A and B are shown apart, each in its own frame.
Chain A
């Protein structure tokens, strides 16, 4: 009959040895040996310390690097120099916890996602899922959604399910929102549910090829109560007539709109006028206008605030306001600068 298993602690030493297998005996012996060595080396280090004049262990050669003991403010200043250097930032995060804390917001400042399944870069919704899993979404300050170049796959409610929406709502500190091919009509009945959490934080909004009537676009802009900068870039203007029920759409807020206005190839008639009327005026300090309907209206609306204006004499709509017929530039003169400007703008220069 095999011996009954009893907790070793309740047995005397002789019984314990009797019940231990040879393997366990070896482990116990090794453990005792390691413990003895540890005590011996600690005692040796203490003796050496006493002999060398009693230097504290914190300043001996076993201490941590001075970099880890810098004040957090100094670390933040050092890291700020590396804001645009991903490789160095990554290296900094491996230094120690305080450096990680200082560097990680810069690493995750911008989140750019593509909704185009054949597009380059991160595909919707993988980055949101991974960053949510790691708790990094609150660090994102700039959120970009890129649509499809050939097949128009914009941001629409079809891309969301309950889980993705919950993860999307964790983007709680976004200050810059850059959305391409946003399908506003599909969102409208419950648009606050999707974008309401950006309302307090977003200061800069860029809409590229937004879909929807002009009232819907204005309503969307009015969701962000502290909005300062606005970019409206490339409008397809598919709607020939504005839907009648759009008049019931009253923007929830009148954003201050006192920063930068960039409007390029946005020729929808009446949108800017409606926006000025509904928001009770605009106060932009910087304007970059190219191929815009209502350019004089914008300049007039900001008479007291406008400080910097970017003008393009080759503006395709400039012929309406500036050039006598015989002096109009030819198409070949107009197009290359405008097209290259926009092309490079969308790809690299941040427009």
Chain B
């Protein structure tokens, strides 16, 4: 087995935050073996020695949300069929599972950050909060893996941009 020798954050003594795109933590091995993303992130976490480290931010972009399409520069939200919603819920649950596993390696504050254009922020924030609420209903959070913070980081374009 590879020992992942090259990726080592042990020398970075001022590291505070690790940010990970949400899309990258939901991939699943086709052969049913442990998730490679989970293995990678757990390895990275285990190499961190910085005392300032306290936060992992999972970055959500608009492309991470099903049911959002762009037409002539404007977002359109469509109601998802039940099957797709179930699939989404399952994907979210898998993400939380990966993060829970990571939490066992090292303690951190989990933050879910929706980094999306301002016009769709409210809708996507609600979707994220619903995902957290669903996980909470499944008793996915406890004292060892507390409920994450949900943030909305509006992307706005200046005039002329």
Residues of chain A touching chain B, judged by Cβ–Cβ distance below 8 Å, are: 83-84, 86, 89, 106-112, 142, 144, 288, 295-296, 299-300, 302-314, 318, 320-324, 326-330, 333-334, 336-337, 340-341, 343-344, 348-350
Contact = CB atoms under 8 A, between A and B. Distances in A.
A348 B117 contact: yes
Nearest to B36: A327
A303 B161 contact: no
Interface stretch (B78-86, B130-138, B140-148, B151-159): B151-159
A312 B24 contact: yes
B37 A306 contact: no
Given A302-B12, A324-B2, A308 B117 contact: no
Contacts of A295: 6-7
A305 B61 contact: no
B139 interface: no
A106 B157 CA distance: 11
Contacts of B63: 340-341, 343-344
Interface of B: 1-2, 4-9, 11-21, 23-25, 27-31, 33-34, 36-37, 39-41, 43-44, 52, 59, 61-63, 115, 117-118, 155-161
B25 to A, nearest CB: 7
Nearest to A339: B63
Given A296-B7, A313-B20, A322-B43, A305 B160 contact: no
Given A314-B24, A348-B117, A327 B33 contact: yes
Contacts of B15: 306-309
Contact of B20 (A89, A307, A312, A333): A312
Given A111-B160, A112-B160, A324-B1, A341 B61 contact: yes
Contacts of A112: 160-161
B127 to A, nearest CB: 17
B12 A313 contact: no
A296 B8 contact: yes
B19 A309 contact: yes
A303 B12 contact: yes
Contacts of A89: 159
Given A329-B27, A340-B23, A348-B117, A323 B158 contact: no
Given A302-B12, A306-B14, A312-B21, A109 B160 contact: yes
Chain A binding surface SS class: mixed
Contact of B159 (A107, A314, A320): A107
Nearest to A345: B61
Contact of A303 (B13, B25, B61, B118): B13
B10 to A, nearest CB: 9
8 tightest A-B contacts by CB?
A337-B23, A313-B37, A310-B19, A110-B160, A84-B156, A110-B161, A321-B6, A340-B63
B18 A309 contact: yes
Nearest to B3: A324
Given A112-B160, A310-B18, A313-B20, 4 more contacts: A110-B160, A309-B12, A340-B61, A350-B155
A349 B29 contact: no
B31 to A, nearest CB: 8
A44 B135 CA distance: 78
Contacts of A348: 117, 155, 157
B4 A327 contact: no
B16 A307 contact: yes
A94 to B, nearest CB: 15
29 contacts: A107-B159, A110-B160, A112-B161, A142-B158, A144-B161, A302-B12, A303-B13, A307-B15, A308-B19, A309-B17, A311-B20, A312-B20, A312-B24, A313-B20, A313-B27, A313-B41, A318-B40, A320-B6, A324-B1, A326-B33, A327-B39, A329-B36, A333-B28, A340-B63, A341-B21, A341-B61, A344-B63, A348-B157, A349-B115
Given A109-B158, A306-B12, A349-B115, A323 B19 contact: no
A201 to B, nearest CB: 18
Nearest to A315: B24
B39 to A, nearest CB: 7
Nearest to B22: A337
A128 to B, nearest CB: 13
A341 B23 contact: yes
Given A110-B161, A306-B15, A327 B21 contact: no
